[in-house]
A = this chain, B = another copy of it.
Amino acid sequence: MQVEITPEFIANIKQLITDGNNTAVSQLFFEVHHADIAEVLEDLNFDDALYIIKLLDAEKTSDILTELDDDTREKILKELSSEEIAKEIDELNSDDAADIIGELPEEQKKEVISQIEDVEHAKDIVDLLRYEEDTAGGLMGKELIKVNENWTNLRCVKEMRIQAADYDKVHTIYVVDDNDVLKGRLSLKSLLTTSTRTPVREVYNPKITSVRADEQDEDVARTMQKYDLFVVPVVDEMDRLLGQITIDDIVDVIRDEADKDYQMAAGITDDVEADDSIIQLTKARLPWLVLGLFGGLGAAYIMGGFEEALEKHKMLFFFTPLIAAMAGNVGVQSSAIIVQGLANDNIKGSMWNRLMKEVGLSLVNGIVLGLLVLGYGLVQGFDLTVNYVIACSLVVVIIIAALVGTFIPILLDKKGIDPALATGPFITTSNDIFGILIYFLIAEMMLGF
C-alpha cells in the first residue's frame, strides 16, 4: 500500500501515541509499507519514533530500520538491548543484517551475534563482516537459490521449494558443480519447458557475468549497468559462488557516487547533509574555503605588485573581480565536462586534438564576451585603450582557464587521483590567481606601465 504521508496522518499518529492507544497505532501501520513507516518516523520526534519501533513486531521493524537515516538508526539502536537487536537481525537478509551489525560498537557486536537464533544466519553475517564495505563482498547477500549441475529438473524444483521457502524473492537460479564453483544459470523458462528427468547439465545457460568479492563497488556498478544486470553473482578466487548483489544496492552506490562528485564540485568533503551538526558541516566546508582564501590573498598580493599602475589605470582594478570570475567559471565548465567524460569513459582522441578544440571553443566564447565588454565600455564612455586591453586579456585568460580546466582533471586521472577533485574550489582558486596575474601582465605589456 502506498500511503500519502499528510500532516493529518502524522498528527493522528501523535495523538494515538499520547493516548497510549497501542492497538490503533499497530492497526494504522498494519497495511503500510516499511519504507513509508520509516518516512513517518523521520517526521516524528525521537521518543515517538522509538515508541513505535518498540511497539511493532520485529518482522516489520527490522525492515524499517534498514530504511531509516543513518543517524536516526544509530540513535534507535543505542536504545535497544542486544537481545532486541538480535531479534531484528533474525528477520533481515544477511547483507542488511551485516550492515547494521557493522554499525554497532565493537563490544556489542559479539553480544548481538551470540544471540542470533539461526546459527546458519549468524555464520553468514560473520562471513560478510570480513569484507570491506565498498567492495562486492561488502555489498553482497548470502541468500540465493543454487542447484547442482548433476541434478534433474525434478530434483531442482524440489530443492528450490525448500530454498525458496526462506526467501522473499527469487532472481536467478545459479548452477554450481560439486565444489560450489559457479557454472551458469538456469532460466525459469527452461525450468518450465523441459521434461522433469532432464539433468540441469544439459539445459543450463553457461553465459553468466560474475564479479570477484574484492572488486570495488564502483566497478560492480559499472558492470551491472553495462550488461543491464538485476543481480550479479559474487565469486572468490576459485570461482566459488559466495553470494549475490542486487541492483537496488547498486542504485545506492550510483547515487552516492554522483552525490560525492556534486559535493566535491561545490567544495564540500565528506557526505554531509543539511541536518548535520554545525561542527560536521564546518569540517566539510571550511578546508575548501581556506583554500579559496589563499587564492584571494594570492590575487591581492599580485595586485599589490602592480600598485604603480593604479593611479593611471584604476579602471583595470575595477575589472579584477570580472576577470577572476570568468576564469573560474570557464575552468569549472571545462573541468566538469572532462570529469563526466572520464566517469563515462568517453574521452577519446589524441591530446593534441583536445587541446585544439578547447582553444577553438574558448576563442569563440572569449571573443563574444570580449565584444560585450568593449560594448559596455563604449556605452559607459571608458578610456578606449584600457577598455581594449581589458577585452583582449579577457580572451587570453579564458583560453588559459579552459586549458587548465581541461588538462588538470586528465592529469589527475592519469596519476590515479579522482579527477572530480579538480572541479570546484581547486580549479576556481588556481584560475583566480592565474587569471589575475595574466591579466596584469598583458595590461603591463600593452599599456607599458
A394-431 contacts to B (CB < 8 Å): 423-425, 428-429
A442 to B223, CA, bound (A): 56
A16 beta carbon closer than 8 Å to chain B: no
Contact A292 B326 (CB under 8 A): yes
A261 to B150, CA, bound (A): 52
Write the A249-293 contact mask toward B (1 if CB under 8 angstroms, else 0).
011001100110111011110001111001001100110111011
A248 beta carbon closer than 8 Å to chain B: yes
Q: Which of A83-91, A127-135, A362-370 contacts B (4 or more CB under 8 A)?
A: A362-370
Q: Which of A116-124, A176-184, A234-242, A339-347 contacts B (4 or more CB under 8 A)?
A: A339-347
A376 beta carbon closer than 8 Å to chain B: yes
* Across-interface contacts of A59 in B (CB, < 8 A): none
Q: Which of A18-26, A106-114, A317-325 contacts B (4 or more CB under 8 A)?
A: A317-325
CB within 8 A of A248: which of B230, B295, B347, B365? B230
Contact A319 B290 (CB under 8 A): no
Contact A268 B333 (CB under 8 A): yes
* Across-interface contacts of A251 in B (CB, < 8 A): 225, 247, 250-251, 254
* Across-interface contacts of A160 in B (CB, < 8 A): 192
Contact A192 B164 (CB under 8 A): yes
A1 beta carbon closer than 8 Å to chain B: yes
Contact A273 B337 (CB under 8 A): yes
Q: From A286, which residue of chain B is reached at the shortest CB distance?
A: B365
* Across-interface contacts of A250 in B (CB, < 8 A): 251
A273 to B340, CA, bound (A): 8
Q: From A160, which residue of chain B is reached at the shortest CB distance?
A: B192
In the complex, how many angstroms separate the beta carbon of A285 from the nearest chain B beta carbon? 5
Most buried by B among A267, A307, A423: A267
Contact B248 A326 (CB under 8 A): no
Contact B364 A425 (CB under 8 A): no
Given A258-B259, A266-B336, A337-B268, residue A282 in contact with residue B365 (CB < 8 A):
yes
Contact A326 B161 (CB under 8 A): no
Contact A332 B43 (CB under 8 A): no
* Across-interface contacts of A328 in B (CB, < 8 A): 325, 328, 428
A40 beta carbon closer than 8 Å to chain B: no
Given A248-B230, A278-B357, A338-B274, residue A304 in contact with residue B321 (CB < 8 A):
no
Contact B295 A346 (CB under 8 A): no
* Across-interface contacts of A445 in B (CB, < 8 A): none
A197 to B189, CA, bound (A): 21
A310 beta carbon closer than 8 Å to chain B: yes
Instruction: List 25 A–B pairs whose Cβ atoms lie within 8 Å, in order of A's numbering.
Output: A161-B189, A161-B192, A164-B192, A230-B247, A251-B251, A251-B254, A255-B258, A262-B262, A262-B336, A266-B335, A274-B337, A278-B357, A278-B361, A282-B365, A288-B329, A289-B326, A293-B322, A295-B325, A296-B326, A297-B376, A317-B318, A321-B436, A325-B428, A325-B429, A329-B425
Top-6 shortest CB links A-B: A296-B322, A258-B258, A266-B336, A274-B341, A299-B321, A300-B318
Q: B-contacting residues of A (Cβ < 8 Å)?
A: 1-2, 33, 35, 42-43, 69, 157, 160-161, 164-165, 169-171, 187-189, 192-193, 207, 209, 223, 225-228, 230, 246-248, 250-251, 254-255, 258-259, 261-263, 265-268, 272-275, 278, 281-282, 285-286, 288-290, 292-293, 295-297, 299-300, 303-304, 307, 310, 314-315, 317-326, 328-330, 332-333, 335-338, 340-341, 344, 346-349, 354, 357, 360-361, 364-365, 368-369, 372-373, 376, 423-425, 428-429, 432, 436
